[in-house]
């Protein structure tokens, strides 16, 4: 068993839940993950995460979304710690647009999205350029509310996988 998992498996329920909040800003998800312990390895950690994520409701998804900064920004509406902020910066590294017109297009796209859906645009930005993200944003603006909520939840699930893998490797 990996040292991070061994340490986490031995924590109190409350501390174990708090430890995972930088991976996903949903308190329900974090508490449910802590209650699944002991988890042996990365595969069981990711499987438990997916199982729990599928059982959560819209309010839990929205809580998780609030812990993300907008694409192109570094501060989230709901702060969950320095580790989360550091990971967000890493994830958006390729998305930082040197082109001022592209930056403005993302900014206005974010605003349009928020006006339409009432929440920030969630995309798994890791490895995507600003222009790719803008294209995804524009495409998703055509979704209806239910479709978009499911898409955002899937993007969040992917982000959680990336962060859990970072967390488990220390």
Does the annotation count 68 as an active-site position?
A: yes
- CA gap 144, 137 in Å, rounded: 13
CA dist., res. 83 & res. 36, Å (int): 23
Which of 56, 68, 92, 137 is an active site residue?
Answer: 68
Continuous H helices in the chain:
3-9, 13-20, 27-35, 42-55, 58-65, 82-91, 100-117, 130-140, 145-168
Instruction: For residues 17 and 28, give the distance between their C-alpha atoms in angstroms, rounded to a whole number.
Output: 9
Residue matched to tokens 């297009």: 105
Terminal C-alpha separation, the chain: 13
Catalytic positions, please?
A: 68
């Amino acid at each position: 068993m990996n040292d991070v998992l061994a340490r986490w498996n031995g924590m109190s329920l409350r501390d174990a839940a708090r430890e995972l909040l930088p991976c996903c800003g949903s308190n329900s998800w974090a508490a449910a993950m802590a209650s699944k312990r002991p988890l042996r390895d990365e595969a069981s950690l990711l499987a438990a995460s997916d199982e729990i994520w599928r059982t959560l409701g819209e309010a839990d998804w929205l809580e998780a979304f609030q812990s993300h900064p907008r694409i192109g920004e570094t501060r989230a509406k709901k702060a969950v710690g320095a580790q989360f902020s550091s990971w967000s910066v890493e994830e958006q590294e390729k998305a930082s647009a040197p082109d001022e017109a592209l930056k403005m297009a993302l900014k206005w796209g974010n605003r349009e999205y928020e006006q339409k859906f009432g929440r920030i645009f969630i995309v798994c930005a890791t490895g995507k350029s600003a222009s790719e993200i803008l294209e995804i944003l524009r495409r998703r603006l055509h979704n209806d509310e239910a479709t978009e909520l499911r898409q955002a939840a899937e993007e969040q699930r992917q982000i959680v996988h990336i962060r859990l893998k970072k967390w488990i490797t220390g």
